[in-house]
Structure 1
Amino acid sequence: MTARDDSTTRHFTVRHDGVTIPVCRGGQGRRPLILCPGLNCTQADLQELTELLRREYDVVTFDLRGHGLASAAERYCFDAFLGDLRAVLAELDLPSPPLLVGYSLGADLAVHYAAECPDRVAQLVLIDGANPLPEPFITGVDLAQFRAMADDLAGERGGDAARQVSLTGRDIMDLNLEMDVVRSGILGRYREIDLPVRMIMSAAIAGDSCEGRAPRHNRLWRAGIERLVRERPDISASWLDADHRLVFTHAPAIAGIIRNGHQPVGGPAT
């Protein structure tokens, strides 16, 4: 591990599985908070939410392999990303177990990590991910649309190195299909977790269109959380009137829920 410091944050790198992972840590609070990004998302993308959380927490952010300033890798799969999260947490000298916050794929990684290492996590906040879907999100009729979306995501980043993603459209598509498999069994992981868990979910993950596949995807997204809350009524869920970009469009509301646990105005409670 190598490190450097500035006036507000400490920057260091973690080397794991042939990958170099950049990590930033800083904040005005003493309570540690780990913010795990999702697929096609970098710590630079989460800057607004990070800065809001740093007002009250000691916040750690990082890039997953192939994202942002992390190096590219030979393989991109759920277990490899989970290994990245494990490696970062293993390098941290924290005064107490952290609040582990994950977005999208990062939420699924957080659940699996907490199930493996329950004594190393104080609480989970899961943002629009880790959803125990009752059926696959992507079906045969969705494949062409999702492939096109994956290709667009792989090619739309500008020139900012901190926001670049090395994954190809094929990598992104394969991971989306793998996540359907992961989420088909994630309810079992929740059964292994005896920690406070809060969900922050988008009310319209696929957008607000009444046509095409969006209505089915939105209904399925809500059905998965309803399934989870029936199984674990101690888990609270807040819904934001947003799509899957909620961490970028609703950062202040999300920071408020993390700090206070309140239900935002306009989001129906589950």
Structure 2
Amino acid sequence: MVDVDDTALYVTDTGGAGQPVVYLNGAYADLSHWKKVVADLGPGYRHIRFDERARGKSKQSADYSFEACLRDIDAVLAARGVDGPVILVGWSYGGVLGWHWADRNPDRVTGLVTVDSFPFGLTREESAERIRKLFHKMRFLLPFVRPFGMAARMSAAQHAEVNIELNEIAAASVAVLERASHPVRFVLATGDSLGSEKGEMESGRTVLDPIIAHNPNVTISAKVASNHSKILAKDSPAVAAAVRGLVTD
């Protein structure tokens, strides 16, 4: 466990001299979602995974903000003695975290693999209310899906606020990607996510097109037939290939 602020984070680290790869989870997910990617990449890398606050085996906190999650990356790397360049692999919420951490720490990043995250969000107040209503309806279901890494030890209202903040930050992240000085490889799905309207996610992915045209460091490594929720389970080889490409490029 790694102590940070008022909480403690559960961390796994395979160690060794290989390229460090740091995995950043989806908003309510735990580190188990990365097991197929880790297996596909194999022992030639140093795999560092951790559960965010109130997810998986980590402790609860009074602060579930995006800034707190950025501090958690710093705390994990410091605790594991990693000060050299890392590859960040982030899915959904974790992808957005990766963009911003790399933007603040450009000398500590070899590159990023972003799994179905994109700089698009529902920022209008009616969209925020839609998210709150969705989690309010799901409030009795959350404890039952928690063991599968699909919910955190938070209230339904806290789940909603994490999602609302993510939408706002993701929508404001175009400039972060446009100025990225390190390789950013996207592995994208084609389907929707829980709570999104039909086609909404695919429409959001098109926001990447002008960024890719503007910044040659940003590319799409693969686009796969999975939906947002199942991409790590069904298309882990595409994610692993994107990581290997950062090492060999």
Give the TM-score, by structure 1 length.
Answer: 0.78
Q: Show the counterpart of 1:203.
A: 190
Give the letter aligned to residue 63 of structure 2. Answer: R
Aligned-partner Cα distance in 1 for 2:243–2:140: 31
Aligned-partner Cα distance in 2 for 1:194–1:150: 40
Give the letter aligned to residue 193 of structure 1. Answer: A
The correspondence for 2:213, drawn from 230, 245, 248, is 230
Confirm or deny: 8 A CA contact 2:55 2:152 kept in the other structure.
yes
The count of aligned residue pairs is: 242
Q: Show the counterpart of 2:92.
A: 104
Aligned-partner Cα distance in 1 for 2:137–2:219: 31
- 3-state SS of paired residue (1:157): helix
Q: Show the counterpart of 2:159.
A: 172
Aligned-partner Cα distance in 1 for 2:63–2:121: 28
Identity %: 21
Q: Displacement, 1:173?
A: 1.1
Give the letter aligned to residue 236 of structure 2. Answer: A
1:26-61 Cα offsets, whole Å, 9 max, x none, are 167711111111211111232222222233311111
More helix by share: 2
Q: Show the counterpart of 2:228.
A: 244
Give the letter aligned to residue 232 of structure 1. Answer: N
Q: Show the counterpart of 1:10.
A: none
The correspondence for 1:182, drawn from 142, 166, 169, is 169
Q: Displacement, 1:196?
A: 0.9
Going from structure 1 to structure 2, the CA distance change for 1:144 and 1:63 (only over 3 Å counts) comes to: closer
- 3-state SS of paired residue (1:20): strand
Going from structure 1 to structure 2, the CA distance change for 1:175 and 1:92 (only over 3 Å counts) comes to: same
Q: Show the counterpart of 1:32.
A: 20
Deviates more, 1:43-52 or 1:192-201: 43-52
RMSD: 2.8
Aligned-partner Cα distance in 2 for 1:41–1:157: 10
Q: Displacement, 1:112?
A: 0.8
Give the letter aligned to residue 70 of structure 1. Answer: S
Aligned-partner Cα distance in 2 for 1:149–1:46: 28
Consecutive unaligned residues of structure 1, counting only runs of 5 or more, are 1-12, 262-270
Aligned-partner Cα distance in 1 for 2:189–2:133: 21
Confirm or deny: 8 A CA contact 1:201 1:240 kept in the other structure.
yes
Higher relative contact order (CA 8 A, sep 6+): 2
Going from structure 1 to structure 2, the CA distance change for 1:149 and 1:204 (only over 3 Å counts) comes to: farther
Aligned-partner Cα distance in 2 for 1:214–1:141: 18
Going from structure 1 to structure 2, the CA distance change for 1:87 and 1:140 (only over 3 Å counts) comes to: closer
